[in-house]
Amino acid sequence: MSEPITALAGAASETGIARIMELSLQGMITLRGDLASSAVQKAATGAAEVEMPGTNQANCVEDRGICWMSPDELLILCPYDMVAANIDKMTETLGNAHALAVNVSDARAAFRITGTQAREVLAKLCPVDLSLENFAPGMFRRTRMAQVPAAFWMTDAESFQLVCFRSQARYVFDLLSIAAQPGSGVNAYLT
């Protein structure tokens, strides 16, 4: 078995107005089904060991969490080596429910953007209102980042976690690093 590695081998950009780093391998499971059904909810909370998030919310603790992707889709985060076991557990919990749980860990890349100007870096790239009052920790947003789809949420007041397709990891990393290049601050969101 070949050793799993991330798309950019942990690339990081430290010199800009926000720190960009590729995260180590993150387990991700797509769960599709009727989110109102108790089997789907139990499968999600059982694997991630956190509460169900509301619409457009993410409920994440360290490397575990549930993100609300759409009215019939959740993204379950868990440790990378727990994915297979979790999917087995979820499939069992789902039983006959019309639902799908699939491992997408290796189809995605994950980044962290940290710093007082992290909001600005993302605001330059996404058509999202990232002002302090409109985007806060706990919220989750799928959107367009320049030319590719991406999803992000805040882990604390100055950090974003972002996921994108793995094949676009280099593009996304370059986008973020360029948007964060030294001296490029707009200071739109500083309090």
Partner 1 sequence: MLTLTCPVCGVTAEETEFHGGGEAHLKRFGPGATDDDLEGYLFMRENPRGVHFERWRHAYGCGKWFHAARCTTTLQVFGTYPAQTFEPPKEICDKISEARPGWSWRAFK
Binding site for partner 1 (CB under 8 A): 55-56, 69-71, 73, 127-128, 141-144, 149
CA nearest neighbour of 163 among 95, 83, 107, 99: 107
- Of the candidates 90, 82, 89, 93, which has an alpha carbon nearest to the alpha carbon of residue 28? 82
Residue closer to partner 1, measured from CB, 83 or 110:
110
Cβ proximity to partner 1, 104 vs 128, nearer residue: 128
Of residues 139 and 178, the one with the C-beta less far from partner 1: 139
Structure tokens at 59: 């409920």
| Core vs surface per residue 48-63: b (16+ CB within 10 A) or e | bebebbeeeebbbeeb
- Shortest Cβ 142–partner 1 spacing (Å): 5
Min CB(128)–partner 1 separation in Å: 7
User: What is the dihedral angle through the alpha carbons of 85, 87, 93, 97, rounded to the nearest 10 degrees?
Assistant: -160
Nearer residue to partner 1 within complex by CB, 127 or 183: 127
Give least dist CB 34 to partner 1, A.
14
Which residues, 6+ apart, have CB-to-CB distance to 182 below 8 Å?
A: 15, 16, 17
CB of 143 to partner 1, least distance (A): 5
